[in-house]
């Protein structure tokens, strides 16, 4: 560092008289940068982010592997008819997704077949009883894929046999029973992706609201507890300090969100399960914007809670309302549907999750998310404004934790 002064030199000319070069960054930006840098150097934060990233990628890869693998069922049979049913099921399984196979294991008797199930050589035994009754015997349970696959092929097998007896073909018997599905909105595959994406939105928002919200509150309490805030308050307007903190943590939350989302999309692409991802891209874009606004509201609340506390422990007691709000958003994302979801999609904070989910699964007119965003924006601005008032009063107050009412009455 060339600007560093040698100690001896410093002694000779310790107080420079030349005017110091002035920094031009606005104070809130300096606070924002510090919030980001402190967190970026925090080892536990880095590790937890990395672990989450690994879990996300592993989850996607594992999911792809599982759905690729399908199931291989071994079914013990003691009759030719049974063997035929299993073979038919195998044919259908291969035709459907190419991943599910059925292999008959021929046993000498029903008891032998049961024994094979008990010794786990076979997943189940298909036994023909008296008078065209069939029994599927499992050890402790029968895999649902196995029973449904065999059920369908048994129906087909019986249909063919019965048709032959009555001199007709099975196709003739089934004529006019074809049911085609048609959806007014979206398609079935889209719904599955929407469900997964909706879960991801809910959870990511929940995680960020807690982690970075608490971070804001803690950093406010820390400054209040150490009284650094007195020095900061003499250097810059206290409002700038609040804005800087909110901005810094919002930036961190958005970066983390982008990292997680990016990693998930990348993993989906690499594993080749990405063909449906295109359908969630627009909703994901909306989610980013809604996330930002929802987070700003929560950030203002967390900052106020921090300024009311006198020690980090106090946060446990006074954070109930904001925790309730965050849980409401999570619950709306996971469970709400129909009219309730529509209402939720306009409630600030909750809308951050609810509106993107609506956008995923149904057609929503463009004005709806825009109105919801405006409501969230107005709320965010109002809360930041109110938060600033309370923060300014409470953060200078030493002693015990404050209630909101007490804080409003405080003189500065």
Specify burial of residue 186 (Cβ count, 10 A radius: 0-12, 13-18, 19+): middle
Site residues (vs another protein, CB under 8 A): 1, 3-5, 7, 10-11, 14-17, 20-23, 25, 27, 30-31, 34, 38, 222-223, 226-237, 396, 398, 411-412
| N residues, the chain | 412
- Alpha carbon distances (Å) from 167 to 170, 173, 175, 251: 10, 10, 15, 74
How far is the C-alpha of 346 from the C-alpha of 351, rounded, in Å?
5
> Is-contact 299 246, C-beta < 8 A?
yes
How far is the C-alpha of 88 from the C-alpha of 268, rounded, in Å?
34
Nearer to another protein among residue 208 and residue 247 (C-beta): 247
Which tokens in the block code for residue 34? 């510090």
Residue whose tokens read 């300096």: 30
CB of 120 to another protein, least distance (A): 57
CB of 34 to another protein, least distance (A): 5
Nearer to another protein among residue 207 and residue 233 (C-beta): 233
CB of 21 to another protein, least distance (A): 5
CB of 318 to another protein, least distance (A): 23
CB of 311 to another protein, least distance (A): 14
Nearer to another protein among residue 32 and residue 250 (C-beta): 32
Nearer to another protein among residue 185 and residue 411 (C-beta): 411
Whether the CA torsion 270, 271, 276, 279 is positive or negative: it is negative
Nearer to another protein among residue 146 and residue 232 (C-beta): 232
Q: Which of 71, 384, 385 is nearest to 216 (CA)?
A: 384
CB of 30 to another protein, least distance (A): 5
Nearer to another protein among residue 16 and residue 133 (C-beta): 16
Give the helix/strand (H/E) hosting 209. Answer: helix 188-226
């Amino acid at each position: 560092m060339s600007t560093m002064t040698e100690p001896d030199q410093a002694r000779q000319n310790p107080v420079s008289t030349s005017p110091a070069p002035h920094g031009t960054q606005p104070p809130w930006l300096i606070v924002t940068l510090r919030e980001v840098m402190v967190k970026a150097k925090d080892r536990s934060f880095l590790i937890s982010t990395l672990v989450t990233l690994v879990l996300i990628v592993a989850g996607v890869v594992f999911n792809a592997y599982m759905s690729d693998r399908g199931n291989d069922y071994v079914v013990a049979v003691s009759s030719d008819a049974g063997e035929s049913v299993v073979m038919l099921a195998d044919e259908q399984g291969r035709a459907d997704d190419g991943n599910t196979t059925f292999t008959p294991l021929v046993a000498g008797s029903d008891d032998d077949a049961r024994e094979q199930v008990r010794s786990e050589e076979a997943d189940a035994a298909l036994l023909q009883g008296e008078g065209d009754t069939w029994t599927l015997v499992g050890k402790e349970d029968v895999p649902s894929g196995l029973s449904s696959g065999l059920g369908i092929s048994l129906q087909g097998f019986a249909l063919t046999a019965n048709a032959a007896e009555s001199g007709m073909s099975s196709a003739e018997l089934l004529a006019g029973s074809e049911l085609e599905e048609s959806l007014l909105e979206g398609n079935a595959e889209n719904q599955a992706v929407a469900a997964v994406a909706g879960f991801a939105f809910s959870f990511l928002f929940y995680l960020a609201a807690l982690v970075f919200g608490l971070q804001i509150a803690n950093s406010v309490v820390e400054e209040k507890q150490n009284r650094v805030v007195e020095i900061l308050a003499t250097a810059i307007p206290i409002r700038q300090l609040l804005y800087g903190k909110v901005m810094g943590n919002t930036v961190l939350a958005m970066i983390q969100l982008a990292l997680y989302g990016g990693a998930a999309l990348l993993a989906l692409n690499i594993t080749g399960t990405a063909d449906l991802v295109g359908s969630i891209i627009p909703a994901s874009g909306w989610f980013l914007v809604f996330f930002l606004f929802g987070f700003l509201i929560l950030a203002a609340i967390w900052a106020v809670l921090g300024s009311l506390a006198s020690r980090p422990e106090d946060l446990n007691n006074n954070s109930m309302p904001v925790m309730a709000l965050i849980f409401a958003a999570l619950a709306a994302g996971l469970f709400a549907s129909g009219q309730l979801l529509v209402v939720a999609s306009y409630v600030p904070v909750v809308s951050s999750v609810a509106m993107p989910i609506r956008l995923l699964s149904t057609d929503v007119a463009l004005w709806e998310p825009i109105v919801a965003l405006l409501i969230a924006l107005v709320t965010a601005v109002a809360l930041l404004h109110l938060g600033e008032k309370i923060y300014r009063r409470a953060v200078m107050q030493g002693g015990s934790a404050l209630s909101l009412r007490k804080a409003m009455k405080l003189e500065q």
